């Protein structure tokens, strides 16, 4: 993908907001992946599009050896600042289509909030090269539960009003899991939520690559409207964003 959909550049200038505001992933997700044998303590995992290291850190906490593959220097350096001293962490300036990892070296591959940016065919061939036989490819997305309640509905409407190419990106998300796995895949869902104060909510909305940044058209109006939305729904100076985590996993052989 090139031009304005180039994932290597889209998050430049957003890494700090991304690291501060993006939600983590529920423990039940990892319980499931360990229970089915997709992951295990001590296994080697390539975390594709690892960004600021949100998913990588959770894997490290579970005793997984992580090769964090991230092409965006700004995001990669933030992950290195946080995780460089963690046992088992390796930062790699590669991409999904060219990881630079040795042949047959990985027990599994993960992609959290990232797979829609990859070229599916090139990535499949690269992962066949780096995975051990029967190694699992695990795709994970946190999706907002847009109709969960009045606040989540209003927040989603605000995002839609100010976003630029969100619908194009959403279309990319709907496709890879169906096309990518030649022998089928398993799908599980897990529900969770995250509380935000106003500063955190501002970080969340600007962490999305399709939303205006400070200095861009629409930014000030968006922030003002977000403040009004927060004021109308906050409880004890917090609002709750509700998520459903979609997890797909399967083998390529």
- pLDDT tens, residue by residue, 65-96: 999 999 999 999 999 999 999 999 999 999 99
Sketch out the chain's domains with CATH numbers. Answer: 3-144+165-194+242-251 (3.40.50.150)
Residue 65 has what pLDDT?
98
Contact (Cβ atoms closer than 8 angstroms) between residue 112 and residue 33: no
Distance separating alpha carbons of residues 94 and 73, to the nearest angstrom: 10
- Look up the pTM and report it: 0.87
Residue 133 has what pLDDT?
93
Share above pLDDT 70 across residues of the chain, in percent, rounded to a whole number = 87
Q: Which residues of the chain have pLDDT under 50?
A: 1-5, 12
Residue 6 has what pLDDT?
54
Residue 183 has what pLDDT?
87
Beta bridge partners of 190: 245
Distance separating alpha carbons of residues 80 and 6, to the nearest angstrom: 23
Q: What is the pLDDT of residues 20-33, one digit of tens each?
A: 878 999 999 999 99
């Amino acid at each position: 993908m090139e031009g304005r959909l180039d994932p290597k550049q889209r998050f430049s200038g957003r890494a700090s907001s991304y690291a501060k505001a993006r939600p983590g992933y529920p423990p039940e997700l990892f319980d499931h992946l360990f229970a089915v044998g997709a992951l295990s303590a001590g296994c080697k995992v390539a975390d594709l599009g690892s960004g600021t290291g949100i998913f990588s850190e959770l894997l490290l906490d579970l005793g997984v050896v992580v090769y964090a593959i991230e092409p965006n220097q700004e995001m990669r350096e933030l992950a290195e600042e946080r995780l460089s001293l963690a046992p088992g962490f390796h930062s790699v300036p590669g991409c999904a289509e060219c990881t630079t990892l040795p042949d047959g070296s990985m027990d599994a591959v993960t992609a959290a909030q990232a797979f829609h940016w990859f070229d599916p065919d090139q990535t499949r061939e690269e992962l066949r090269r780096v995975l051990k036989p029967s190694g699992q490819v695990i795709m994970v997305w946190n999706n907002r539960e847009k109709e969960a309640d009045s606040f989540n509905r209003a927040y989603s409407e605000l995002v839609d009003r100010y976003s630029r190419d969100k619908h194009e990106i959403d279309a990319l998300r709907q496709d890879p899991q169906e096309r990518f796995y030649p022998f089928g895949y398993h799908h599980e869902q897990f529900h969770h939520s995250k509380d935000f104060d106003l500063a955190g909510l501002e970080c969340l909305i600007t962490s999305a690559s399709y939303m205006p940044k400070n200095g861009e058209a629409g930014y000030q109006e968006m922030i003002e409207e977000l403040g009004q939305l927060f004021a109308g729904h906050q409880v004890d100076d917090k609002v709750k964003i509700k998520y459903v985590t979609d997890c797909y996993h399967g083998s390529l052989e």
